[in-house]
Amino acid sequence: MRKVLYFFIALFININVYADMPKPLITDYKPVFIPCFNRDGYLRVAIRMYYRETTPYFIAVNPYTFATETAPVATFAHRRISNGRPIPYLMRELAATPYMQALMQYTSPPYVQNYGVMQAFKPVNGEFLTIDMCPSVRPFESGLFNALIAMADQLQRSIPIGISVTGLWMLGHPAEFNWLIQQQESGKLQITWINHSFSHVYFADLPPENNFLLLKLTNVKHEILATEKILVQNHQLPSVFFRFPGLVSDRGLILRLRHYGLIPVSTNAWLANGGQIKNGSIILVHGNSNEPLGIKAIMPVLPSLKLLPLNQAF
């Protein structure tokens, strides 16, 4: 009981801290595909452009590590300079990078259900924990997140997790969202923000092939970009990863992800559905209190997991 009380006291304090942080005005947020070089001269791929107040910004991907960064457009160079001369891009150089190879591989046929990265592409010693935050009227799974913080304290390092976040969850749970951000800022959690769509619409009386993002009325562009924009407004970096709501997709949706520079992330260990954790597994649980079976399954084994950041799956 005392731990629960301390949690909510800390949550209240952090709400006030982050509520006072100014939110930048983000406008004209759109997809782009622009190879460029950052201020240190390293190759990047700009996949988003937007205006922060009146200054144009890129969100750019490190094509070797999958990490994203944001900076004013003016800080990026659009040609590599060698011996004082600009060097043109070579598509074969860009296509050989891990990011571009993964993007093409995981947006190519066969287009099946549960499509995307299910486990580590290369041998690893550990697992990847992804936590879905679909829209929910319930409080988040404080027990799970407190257990992750306890692991961070015990190991004296941040714990890497992927949070598959929806726009509606962030808008509906600002206090909990801000608490997660504070855990990242304090070095407890190393969060990869995975886009899980804006609304995650689901109708219980519709089949999968006409549900979730496949609902014919869906504005896919809004579902993808609105969630990223909320993250940027809250000083967070969207990653290059996307999880389809319900793990339901088709060829058209997958090719749209390629257009937006996003790699679909699936799972081979959805614990509430009986999935089993193996070395290299991408684990799926829900942190929005909508799927208690997954939380019940992961809590006993959580301390024994060797959690890795998602980019190390490639």
Looking at per-residue pLDDT, the higher value among 13 and 273 belongs to 273
Nearest to 195 by CA among 48, 11, 297: 48
Q: What is the pLDDT of residues 256-268, one digit of tens each?
A: 999 999 999 999 9
Q: What is the pLDDT of residues 209-239, one digit of tens each?
A: 999 999 999 999 999 999 999 999 999 999 9
pLDDT band at 41 (very low <50, low <70, confident <90, very high): confident
User: How many domains does the chain divide into?
Assistant: 2
Q: Do residues 181 and 295 both lie within one domain?
A: yes
Q: What is the pTM of this model?
A: 0.92
Domain that holds residue 304: 101-107+115-313
Q: Do residues 204 and 286 both lie within one domain?
A: yes
Q: Do residues 267 and 182 both lie within one domain?
A: yes
Q: Do residues 209 and 289 both lie within one domain?
A: yes
Q: Do residues 69 and 147 both lie within one domain?
A: no
Sequence-distant (6+) residues with CB within 8 A of 24 are 52, 53, 232, 233, 235
Arithmetic mean of pLDDT, 4-13: 43
- Is 18 a domain residue? no
Residue 111: burial class (beta carbons within 10 Å; 0-12, 13-18, 19+): middle
pLDDT band at 13 (very low <50, low <70, confident <90, very high): very low
Q: Can you give the pLDDT at residue 3?
A: 42
In 264-285, which positions are buried (b, 16+ CB within 10 angstroms) versus exposed (e)?
Answer: bbbbbbbbbeebebeebbbbbb
141 close to 288: Cβ distance less than 8 angstroms:
yes
- Is 15 a domain residue? no
The domain that contains 255 carries what CATH number?
3.20.20.370
Residue 18 has pLDDT above 60, yes or no: no
Nearest to 256 by CA among 217, 227, 214: 214
Q: In the sheet that 128-133 helps form, which strands lie side by side, from edge to edge?
A: 263-264, 238-242, 189-195, 159-165, 128-133, 282-286, 269-270
Q: Do residues 77 and 155 both lie within one domain?
A: no
Q: Do residues 206 and 272 both lie within one domain?
A: yes
Q: Can you give the pLDDT at residue 20?
A: 60
* DSSP symbols for 207-226: -GGGSGGGSTT--HHHHHHH
Q: HEC string of 6-58?
A: HHHHHHHHHHHHHHCCCCCCEEEEEEEEEEEECCCCCEEEEEEEEEECCEEEE
CB under 8 A, 24+ apart: contacts of 84-90: 89/35
Q: What integer best gives the mean pLDDT of the chain?
A: 93
Q: Do residues 205 and 149 both lie within one domain?
A: yes
pLDDT band at 21 (very low <50, low <70, confident <90, very high): low
Q: What is the pLDDT of residues 60-112, one digit of tens each?
A: 999 999 999 999 999 999 888 777 788 887 889 999 999 999 999 999 999 99
Q: Can you give the pLDDT at residue 90?
A: 84
For 254, the token pair is: 């997958």
- Is 163 a domain residue? yes
